[in-house]
Amino acid sequence: MPGLEPSFILAVGTCAIQGGAMFAIEQVFRKHVSESLQGKVVMITGGSAGVGRAAARAFARQGANVALLARDVSGLEDAKAEIESFGGEARIFPADVADAEAVFAAAAQCEVELGPIDIWVNNAMATVFSPVEQLTPEEIRRVTEVTYLGYVHGTLAALRHMRPRDRGVIVQVGSSRAYRGIPLQAAYCGAKHAVRGFTDSLRTELLHHRSNVAVTAVHLPAVNTPQFEWARTRMRKAFRPVTPVYTSRAAAFAIVHAATHPKREYWLGGTTSLTIIGDMLFPGLLDRFLAREAVDRQQKEMEIGANRSDNLFSPVSGRHRTNGAFSAEARPNPAMLSAQTIRFATIAGACVLIGFAGAVFGARRASAARIEKRCRSR
């Protein structure tokens, strides 16, 4: 014990914290929900592609009637046909989530065609891969209108129908970017931070009113979706998700689980948990790590084609599908924990660290005292 170095103590402590945060992996990420969704009405924004489309299929396979809201009509029709191919029920509502009135109208029409909305999933997003100084005000405004105000509009639409009935669940699909900004995605990260603040405020108001309407957030890791093929970019090289990458199906099951077992927040994937906890504990260290690693790790070696189109201001037809170009490396089963569980585990790990450090310090003091006593006896 006397020969232990501080670096060793820090390493052991870090392992304790990480181990504590992930101690319940075996009990999470259930593929089958226990609560029946038979006949429930679920509205999903951004439902024509990626995570939204995968979630629509997952809800429909559990017996839910699904409403899909997105801009691209052909993508919506394809998603609807997929659901109907295995006997599911779906309706499509072409709209831009940045248009509040269009979202409100879609919600009202959904209630007429499918019945009362039980679950509302806010998922639509837009981004621009670019250094901050190269972003235009118009691009930042558009990302904010879709990724932040789109969630606000969807939440307001859901509350209009759920609050009078005093029931329903609102699911905010987020990511670790809601806690930790990274290079080249400032507009998106800022919008996700805004969604988290808005949702926290709403949650406290619902608690104040003792409402039975639940709001939950699912923070995702990198997911294999088409967004990396159609998002606007200022970079010369093609963009890619930071590894590890997970399947859109995994994200969909997490959303279904959160909708049927709503808790304050869920964090999907070990990288999501470690990023959020790491930012809470060591924000400066994470700044330096991301500065060194995150720019290159978000780019592929291949260059972008000269005629590449993007979906920032208008949809890109013909590319709406569930999965992106990274299926070969996408992992199917990430760990999923509630934020409360992870924070408790992290505190437990920190206590282990403090106890271990205290034991080492005590042992060193005792050893020093013995040495001093022997020296005096001579």
Active site residues: 188
The torsion angle over the Cα atoms of residues 369, 370, 373 and 378, rounded to 10 degrees, is -140
Amino acid, res. 299: Q
Task: Let me know: does 110 contact 45? Beta carbons within 8 Å.
Answer: no
Contacts of residue 364, Cβ cutoff 8 Å, sequence gap at least 6: 1, 2
From residue 42, how far is each of 9, 10, 144, 158, 211 by CA, in Å? 50, 47, 25, 11, 20
Could you write out the DSSP letters of every residue in 305-367? PTT----SSS--TT---S--S-TTT-BS---EEEHHHHHHHHHHHHHHHHHHHHHHHHHHHHH
To 10 degrees, what angle do helices 186-208 and 137-147 make? 30
- C-alpha dihedral sign at 242, 246, 249, 251: negative
**Assigned token pair, 220:** 């995702």
From residue 325, how far is each of 4, 58, 243, 343 by CA, in Å? 48, 21, 13, 34
Task: Let me know: does 158 contact 120? Beta carbons within 8 Å.
Answer: yes
The residue with tokens 């599911």 is 88
